[in-house]
Amino acid sequence: MGATFSLGRVAGIRVGVHWSVLVIFALITVGLAEGRLPRAHPGAPAWAYWLTALATAVVFLLALLAHEISHLLVAHRNGVGGDEITLWLLGGAARLHNEAPTPTAELRIAGVGPLVSLLLGGIFTLLTWWAHALRGPGLLIEALAWLAGINVLLAVFNVLPAAPLDGGRLLRALVWWRTGNRLRATEVATGAGRALGWILVAVGVYEALAGGFAGGVWLLLIGWFMVAMATVEGSQAKLRELLRSVPVRQAMSADPVTAPVGTRVQEFLSSPPWRYRHSAFPVTDPAGRPVGLVSVRQAGQVPLEERESTSLEAVMVPLGDIPTAGPDDPLVQLLPALDASPARRALVLADGRVVGIVTSSDVSRVIAWLSSTAPPGAGLRTVP
C-alpha cells in the first residue's frame, strides 16, 4: 500500500500517508463533533465540539504512528531493516527491507504493535480518571475516554488472526514454527485475511441494505482493503519464494558503462561512450570507486546554458541513496530496497568496484523466466 503523500521523518523514519487515512480522519472528526460530543455534553458552542474533535483525531493518528514505529524498532533489534511507515485505513504498514529470520523474531515484531496500543489505551484510561477526579472540562474527559476505548479496540482488532493485521503475522509465525515452511505459513495467514475481508464485505452490504448505511459502508471498506492487502501480501510471498535462491549476479547487467565524476553534463549527453547506450550510469571517482548514479533524465534537466559548467557530481544521486548488493547476495533481499529507491536501480559491488547494475526490468525478466520454465505443480527452481 503506497503512500499518497509524505509527512516527513520521525526519528529517521519516513512517514507516509495513504489517502484512506483522510477518510478515517474525516469520519472521526465529524462523528465526534456532530455526534458523540454534543450528545454527551450538550450546550457547548459548535467551535468547541469541532476543536476537540480535530485534536482527538490528531492524537489518534499519533497513536497509530506509535503503534507502527514500535514494529520498526523491534524489527531493527531482530536484525530486520526498515525505514518507512505508511499509515492507511486499518492502521499502518511498516516497510521492512527483509523478512524476519525466525518465527520467534516474527512473533516479537508482530506482537509489539497491539501491546503498544493496549498500553496507550491504559494510559488514556488513567488520564480519563485523573481528569474526572479533578473535575476537568467535560469535553476533555469525553475525548480521553474515546481515545482509551479506540486504542483498546485497535489492539483487539489487530490481533485477529488474519493478514494484513498483526494477528495475521502472529498466525504466520505460529504456522511457520509448526511446519517449518515460511510460504505455507504466509498462505494460511493471507487466506484467513481474505476470508475475514469477504465476511466483513458481506456484513457491510447487509448492514447498508438493512438501514445502517454509514456503518455498512465502513465495514465494506475495511473488508475490501483487507481482501486487497491480503492478496498482495500472498503474491509478494510467492515472488520472494520464487527468487529466494537466485543470486544477484543472475539478474544483473554485468560490467556497466560508467561515467567519471568530473564529466560535464554536455559531454555526458553528447559523447559516444554514453549516448544511446543506457538511461542511467554509475558515476565513479578517479580511483574507479562508485560515488553515485546519474540518469539521462537528471542530466537533461540542466539548462542548456549551464551544461558546460555543471559536472555529473551536481546532478547524480549519491551512492548512499542507491541500493547496493554483492554479486552472490540473494536477489530476494535486494527487492524491498530496489522497490523503495527512486532510481529503481541497484549497484552491484565487489571489492569496492561496480561489477553490475540491477533494474526492476532485470528482476521482471528473471521472474518471467522462472515462471515460464517451472512445470505446473513442480517446486520452484532457480535459473541454471
CA atoms within 13 A on the CB side of 102: 5
Choose the weakest-confidence range: 5-9, 274-278, 362-366, 371-375.
371-375
**Of 253, 250, 234, which Cα lies nearest the Cα of 370?**
250
The end-to-end CA distance of the chain, in Å, is: 34
pLDDT at position 33? 93
Radius of gyration for the chain, computed over Cα atoms and rounded to the nearest angstrom? 25
pLDDT in tens, 83-129: 778 887 666 677 776 678 899 999 999 999 999 999 999 999 999 99
**Of 5, 14, 66, 83, which Cα lies nearest the Cα of 336?**
83
Query: Rounded distance, CA 44 to CA 195, Å?
Result: 45
Residue 12, pLDDT > 90, answer no
**Of 205, 197, 306, 314, which Cα lies nearest the Cα of 259?**
314
pLDDT at position 353? 93
Share of the chain above pLDDT 90, in %: 53
Query: Rounded distance, CA 286 to CA 262, Å?
Result: 9
Could you tell me the pLDDT band of residue 5, with boundaries at 50, 70 and 90? low
Q: How many other CB atoms sit within 10 Å of the CB of residue 3?
A: 20
Query: With the C-alpha atoms ordered 128, 132, 135, 141, is the resulting torsion angle positive or negative?
Result: positive
Residue 20, all three cell numbers: 484512506
Could you tell me the pLDDT band of residue 384, with boundaries at 50, 70 and 90? very low
Residue 241 annotated among the catalytic residues of the structure: no
Contacts of 98 (CB under 8 A, 6+ apart): 80, 81, 333, 336
Query: Rounded distance, CA 116 to CA 330, Å?
Result: 34
pLDDT in tens, 202-218: 999 998 888 877 778 87
DSSP track, 335-371: HHHHHH-TT-EEEEEETTEEEEEEEHHHHHHHHHHHH
Q: Which of 34, 68, 99, 207 is catalytic?
A: 68
* Domains in the chain, CATH or no CATH each: 5-243 (no CATH), 248-373 (3.10.580.10)
Residue 48, pLDDT > 90, answer yes
pLDDT at position 377? 46
User: Is residue 353 within 8 Å of 289, Cβ to Cβ?
Assistant: yes
Biggest CA-to-CA distance, the chain: 79
Query: Rounded distance, CA 263 to CA 32, Å?
Result: 60
Buried b vs exposed e over 315-353: b needs ≥16 C-beta within 10 Å? bbbebeebbbbbeeebbbbbbbbbeebebbbbbbbeeee
pTM of the model: 0.74
